[in-house]
Amino acid sequence: MGAGVTVNLENVWIKFGDFVAVREANVNIKGGDFFSFLGPSGCGKTTILRAVSGFLDPSEGRVLIGGKDMAGIGPNKRPTALIFQNLALFPLMKIWENITFSMEVAGASAGDRRKRADELLDMIALSGQGDKFPSELSGGQKQRVAIARALCAEPDVLLLDEPLSALDLKLRQHMRTELREIQQRVGISFIYITHDQGEALTMSDSVAVMRAGIIDQIAGGHEIYDHPATPFVASFVGENNVFRGKLQSVNGNEAVIRTNRSGDLLAQITPTAVGKMKAGDDAMMFVRPEALALGEASPDSKTTISANVLNEEFEGNSYSVFLEGDGGKQIKMSLPNLGQDRESSKGSSLALHYDASTAVVMPAGELASE
Amino acid sequence: MKKPMIFSEFFKNNGPVMGSILMVLVGFWIIVLIVLPQLSMLDFSFRFNLPPAELGGPKDNYTLKNYKQLVYGAAGSEGTYNTVDLMVFVRTIVTAIFVTIANIIMCYPLAYYLGQSKGTSFARLLVVMLIIPYWINEILRAFALRIIFGETGLINEVLTFLHLTAEPIDFIRQNYALYAGLGYAYILLMLFPMYNVIESLDRNQIEAARDMGASWIRIHRRIVIPHAKPGIASGATMVFMLSAGALAVPQVLGGPSSLWFTQLVYQWFNDSLNWQQGSAYAIVLLFSSIAIVLTLMRIFKVNMGDIGK
Amino acid sequence: MSPKVISRLALGAYLLIFFGYLLGPLVVMSLTAFNSSGFPSVSPWACFTFEWFDVLFKDQRILNGIKNSIIIGIGTVIVSIAIGLSAALVLTQVWPKLRTTYYTIIIAPILIPGVVLGISTIVFWDRVSRLLGPSTDALFHNGIFLTILGQSTFIASYAMLIFVARLARFDPGLTEAALDLGATHTQAFRKILLPFMRPAIASAAVLAFLASFENYNTTTFTFGNYPTLTIELAQKVRYGINPSISSLAFIIVVLTVFGALAFEAYRRNTGNKERAKEGKAAPKSGGILPGFLRGNPAAVVLVLLCFTVITAVGTAQSYSPEQCKMDVRAAKQLEIDLRIEALEEKRRLRELGKTHEGPDIFGTPEVESEDKAPSSSGAFGDVFKDLEQGD
Ligand SMILES: Nc1ncnc2c1ncn2[C@@H]1O[C@H](COP(=O)(O)OP(=O)(O)OP(=O)(O)O)[C@@H](O)[C@H]1O
Ligand SMILES: [Mg+2]
């Protein structure tokens, strides 16, 4: 197996006619990393992957793999292997022929191919099933065959386009761990595409969050979750409560935002915006549901929010409490279920307290649609 | 600016080897087999019929003579029209139109029946039975009709036997055999496109309409026929073009006094060895039948893309 | 009677008439092959005979025509499939704005009258050979060359339509996957697309061969010194008929029935298989019939038909013609006498200056054929000479 190889996108633009599918993408992927692109449907994830694998050329900018410019190099010459969104197993070939197709086109003998196929079938726990056709396998099995087929090509970089989207929840969770294990075993770079933030956060070393052709933030999972760079990232990754307003005062990396309904609130400025914000700017503050706790009502506190409870839902390990928030939006609070009986607080007014270090404020911008 | 982009993309998608092969084959077809021959026939139709030695010589000019021949007859008889050839032309076109209409009427019920009872084994059997004549030589089909319509053929024998006629009827001289033969020759090219589109009609639509109290006639007029229109248009185009351009059927079944326009073309080529004249007649046939098809397509609002489905 | 019964009856009558019109003439024609009467007919049934098949198999022109047809058919299949497949592949990729124009151009040959295609082919290649000099004459005026090109012009369109239908179901992702795994474009084509297209190629090949085999309008201008079977048939049908054509027609009808059934059986079979492969209806194995026949009535009919034909041919081999031949000869003699009488009668009438035209037994299509009779019967004379030599 090839050792980890870096992949760099330098100022990549991709256009289809007048439509800009990818705008100014700059990405540096370390060798051996598990790197994810996360974004809603249609934001250009597949398009980026196709530029890396060589099916389309960037309209501007460069794609480098292992430091080498890939311009003019076709997909069959690049050290990448792509697992397609719909898998694209060859329906008229047996499983073992599918897996070793890359050897077949390189001219390997049938014996060698059979042997390699058996090894890979062992690895994906499908021993003895090599003579079936793809149509005779289950969804998860097909998934694993597609992985084995890509790995058989001994790529330096494995590209995966939402490979788990067709699977049911249980299998998807199982395959997540399996994929991560495979990646660690073979040690090559994985570029993984998903619109499921859970997948991105659990598996990746780094995540790039995309919005309509633009990469908003590239960082580790924790960083993205705790310090989202833009309102889009904050609202797309995990659940978040948004408060809009104007900055009242800025003090180092802390700021006070004046909201319509909840008064002045204190929060940390997200790292990328430190030093760029000043009083009077339109801003947004985000607090996660699990960062909210019940507290004492105190009108002077800048970390307390008072609101009427609209609804309450029981979710097993927690209760979700929905409160009347800003501009028609509800505030969601998550309370752990600790086994005690709870009286419904529906209709009453609650005071919610949070720690200023768990709230982030940033310049106002577009939110992810729900 | 845009063209080279298409080509480079084409070669990127297909690779240099496959890309070139595709380009060469398609180019050969379009240019060498389709466009250039038609153009050289057009060019030919404007030239004099010269002996090989004089080709390219001073006499090898362009002329309208070959077209005048069709309208006015041979040179010298200027002023009077070439009624014989013009009549042949008109009769060919008119008959071809009637053959097309007759085929639409004959095929519609069967196409509807087959389309609605798709999947039943009886319908499958009927389709296989339809395929058989479809695959049999046009000449042989004409020959079969010739046997039946001949003076001592089956129909005359039956008619005489039943004392319906005293004398055998000369179906061939009366052109009945020709009409029957033309109707017979291309009927399946009408049926199959019609059947294909009607088959794709959702039965629920018909049932919904019937539920709302629509009569059968209205259901056909408002639902089935509009849905089947591309198929009917496709079939009608094929039948019309093939009938107008038919050669075998009129040669085998045509009466002595009623030539088909293609037979005139054939005579110019093979009997008079005047290729230029023949080309002019062929051009007239080609352009007038295309013009008729395009006009009808415009009238009935059918697209080119529907043809050949 | 309820309206339902009436409409059923009407439907039945309609189907009967339609299929009678379609199949009746073919049945009658096939029957005439077994009537020893010298003119193809059924109703004065002389005697059941196989002699017309003998006549047919000794007819050099027919045999030669079959040979030419097969050569041209194979050539046309190769050319038109290569072109049709390329054109279909280009159609899937062509720039959307050019698509309609391109489609119109490649569908046009279906609509251009065959006569026009034949003429334009010879005119064009005649011009080419004049341009390139006399050394190319032999090729560009060669009947086989011209016929293959002339026929391929429109048969390629038919092939293209078949391929477009199949390609619509192809996932281009498969080709990309192959490329991604290191295949060259040529390998991806050979290993992925071609296997997928195989059933369509088989159908297109059969169709192209049949279309070539039966083509008359184009071939009649291009054949040169290589008359195809259809050309020979047309000559015979136009200038003089005897039931050996019926016997050939009978053979073609039988082959076509076989072909249609086999094709249908094959289609259903592969259809079932593909459906199974796509995991829609996995057929349970078991049952008495072999897999090929299961759920495939056409295949069953085909097998039954095979048995019938084998039996019939067996009977024909052992069918003792002696007594029959005597009868045939007697009947023939009688017929000839009658005919001579009729002809004499006719001549007498004509000599009497009667303007009325007598009944024409042969139903020949052209008045002038009486003038042409010597030349056309020359062709027949050869046939009979062959026959005499054969006997
Ligand atoms: N060949 C193309 N021509 C024109 N536009 C295209 C083409 N391919 C993609 N697009 C457009 O580019 C945008 C991004 O598409 P892309 O396939 O990259 O989305 P994606 O992020 O992978 O979405 P999904 O999660 O649904 O797979 C979409 O708006 C799409 O319509
Ligand atoms: Mg995608």
Given this model, what pLDDT does residue A19 score?
A: 92
Q: Are B133 and C23 within 8 A, CB to CB?
A: yes
Distance in angstroms (rounded) separating the CA atoms of residues B307 and C200:
20
Given this model, what pLDDT does residue C275 score?
A: 59
Residue ranges per structural domain of chain C: 60-242, 244-280+290-318, 321-352
Distance in angstroms (rounded) separating the CA atoms of residues A147 and A99:
9
Q: Are A92 and C279 within 8 A, CB to CB?
A: no
Using alpha carbons only, give the angle A288, A294, A299 rounded to the nearest 5 degrees: 95
What is the rounded average pLDDT of the residues B235-251?
87
pLDDT for C377 beyond 50:
no
In the stretch 6-65 of chain B, residues with CB closer than 8 A to chain A read: 12, 15
The minimum CA-CA distance between C99 and chain A, rounded to whole Å, is: 17
C358: confidence class by pLDDT, cuts 50, 70, 90: very low
* pLDDT tens sequence across A236-249: 998 889 988 898 88
Pocket test for ligand 1, best of A19, A59, A160 (most atoms within 8 A of CB): A19
Please name the residues in contact with B20: beta carbons below 8 A apart, sequence gap of 6 or more: B11
Nearest CB among C90, C100, C115 relative to B305 is that of C100
Distance in angstroms (rounded) separating the CA atoms of residues A91 and C146:
41
Domain match, B286 and B225 both: yes
| C15 touches B at CB < 8 Å | yes
The minimum CA-CA distance between C288 and chain A, rounded to whole Å, is: 25
Given this model, what pLDDT does residue C154 score?
A: 93
* Closest Cα in chain C to A101: C181
Cβ-based contacts of B151 with chain C (< 8 Å): 359-361, 363
For residue A45, report the distance from its CA to the centre of ligand 2, in Å: 6
Cβ-based contacts of B9 with chain A (< 8 Å): none
* Closest Cα in chain B to A55: B13
Q: How far is CA A68 from CA A63, A79, C209, in A?
A: 8, 11, 53
Given this model, what pLDDT does residue A47 score?
A: 93
Nearest CB among A76, A92, A150 relative to C183 is that of A76
Using alpha carbons only, give the angle C257, C262, C267 rounded to the nearest 5 degrees: 130
Domain match, B178 and B251 both: yes
Task: Report domain C60-242's class.
Answer: mainly alpha
* Closest Cα in chain A to C279: A135
Given this model, what pLDDT does residue A327 score?
A: 66
Domain boundaries, position B183? 47-306
* pLDDT tens sequence across C44-69: 666 666 667 777 777 788 889 999 99
Given this model, what pLDDT does residue A23 score?
A: 92
Distance in angstroms (rounded) separating the CA atoms of residues B79 and B76:
9
pLDDT for C284 beyond 60:
no
The average confidence (pLDDT) of chain C is: 76
By mean pLDDT, which of A320-324, B18-22, B271-275, C352-356 is the weakest?
Answer: C352-356
B53: confidence class by pLDDT, cuts 50, 70, 90: low
C382: confidence class by pLDDT, cuts 50, 70, 90: very low
Cβ-based contacts of B12 with chain A (< 8 Å): 57, 74
Q: State which residues of chain A have pLDDT below 50.
A: 1-2
Domain match, B139 and B6 both: no
* pLDDT tens sequence across A145-168: 998 999 898 899 999 998 887 777
Question: Which two three-digit tokens encode residue C338?
Answer: 């009658």
Nearest CB among C174, C278, C279 relative to A90 is that of C174
* pLDDT tens sequence across B58-95: 667 777 777 777 777 666 555 677 777 788 888 889 98
The minimum CA-CA distance between A1 and chain B, rounded to whole Å, is: 28
CB B266 within 8 A of CB C219: no
What's the one-letter identity of residue C93? Q
The minimum CA-CA distance between A155 and chain C, rounded to whole Å, is: 9
Please name the residues in contact with C18: beta carbons below 8 A apart, sequence gap of 6 or more: B106, B110
Domain match, B279 and B131 both: yes
Count of domains for chain B:
2
Cβ-based contacts of C24 with chain B (< 8 Å): 148
Which is the closest atom of ligand 1 to the Cα of A50? 18
For residue A164, report the distance from its CA to the centre of ligand 2, in Å: 12
| C153 touches B at CB < 8 Å | yes
Given this model, what pLDDT does residue C372 score?
A: 34
C298: confidence class by pLDDT, cuts 50, 70, 90: low
What is the rounded average pLDDT of the residues B136-157?
77
For residue A43, report the distance from its CA to the centre of ligand 1, in Å: 7
Q: Are B151 and C109 within 8 A, CB to CB?
A: no
CA of A37, nearest ligand number: 1
Neighbours of A177 (CB within 10 A): 11
Ion ligand 2 neighbours (CB, 5 A) are A 46
* Closest Cα in chain B to A17: B2
CB B103 within 8 A of CB B109: no
Q: Are A75 and C187 within 8 A, CB to CB?
A: no
Nearest CB among B55, B113, B140 relative to C11 is that of B113
Given this model, what pLDDT does residue C278 score?
A: 54
What is the end-to-end Cα distance of chain C in Å, rounded?
Answer: 64
DSSP for residue B47:
B
**What is residue C48's three-state secondary structure?**
strand
Mutate to test the interface with C, among B3, B6, B18, B243 (most CBs of C within 10 A): B18
CA of A52, nearest ligand number: 1
| Ligand 1, atom 28: closest residue by C-alpha | A42
Question: What number of C-beta contacts closer than 8 Å exist between B and C?
Answer: 278
By mean pLDDT, which of A314-323, B153-162, C71-80 is the weakest?
Answer: B153-162
Distance in angstroms (rounded) separating the CA atoms of residues A148 and C127:
60
For residue A43, report the distance from its CA to the centre of ligand 2, in Å: 8
Name residues contacting ligand 1 (CB within 6 A).
A 16, 19, 21, 39, 41-47, 85, 195
Domain match, B151 and B4 both: no
| Ligand 1, atom 5: closest residue by C-alpha | A16
Q: Are C100 and B157 within 8 A, CB to CB?
A: no
Complex-level ipTM: 0.84
Please name the residues in contact with B27: beta carbons below 8 A apart, sequence gap of 6 or more: none
Pick the most confident of A280-294, B41-55, B223-237. Answer: A280-294
- Helix extents (H) in chain B: 2-14, 16-27, 36-44, 65-72, 83-116, 121-134, 138-149, 154-161, 176-185, 187-199, 203-211, 216-219, 225-244, 248-253, 261-266, 275-299
Pocket test for ligand 1, best of A16, A49, A195, A209 (most atoms within 8 A of CB): A16
pLDDT for C391 beyond 50:
no
Given this model, what pLDDT does residue C41 score?
A: 64
Nearest CB among C115, C233, C367 relative to B256 is that of C367
CB B273 within 8 A of CB B191: no
pLDDT for C77 beyond 90:
yes
| Ligand 1, atom 22: closest residue by C-alpha | A46
Q: Are C105 and B34 within 8 A, CB to CB?
A: yes
| Ligand 1, atom 23: closest residue by C-alpha | A42
In the stretch 165-184 of chain C, residues with CB closer than 8 A to chain A read: 171, 173-174, 176-184
Cβ-based contacts of B25 with chain C (< 8 Å): 82-83, 86-87
Q: Are C116 and B172 within 8 A, CB to CB?
A: no
Share of chain B above pLDDT 70, in %: 83
Domain match, B185 and B157 both: yes
Q: How far is CA C215 from CA A353, C19, C174, in A?
A: 89, 24, 38
Is the overall model pTM greater than 0.80, yes or no? Answer: no
Q: Are A55 and C176 within 8 A, CB to CB?
A: yes
Given this model, what pLDDT does residue C360 score?
A: 42
Question: Which two three-digit tokens encode residue C141?
Answer: 């005026």
* Closest Cα in chain C to A136: C279
By mean pLDDT, which of B99-103, B239-243, B301-305 is the weakest?
Answer: B301-305
Domain match, B102 and B199 both: yes
| A74 touches B at CB < 8 Å | yes
B257 phi and psi, to 5 degrees?
-95, -10
| C326 touches B at CB < 8 Å | no
Domain match, B180 and B281 both: yes
By mean pLDDT, which of A65-74, A187-196, B16-25, C315-324 is the weakest?
Answer: C315-324
What is the rounded average pLDDT of the residues C326-353?
75
Domain match, B161 and B225 both: yes
Given this model, what pLDDT does residue A321 score?
A: 87
Mutate to test the interface with C, among B29, B172, B251 (most CBs of C within 10 A): B29
Cβ-based contacts of B1 with chain A (< 8 Å): none
Given this model, what pLDDT does residue B197 score?
A: 85
Domain match, B16 and B137 both: no
| Ligand 1, atom 24: closest residue by C-alpha | A41
Domain match, B17 and B136 both: no
Higher-pLDDT residue of B259, C122: C122
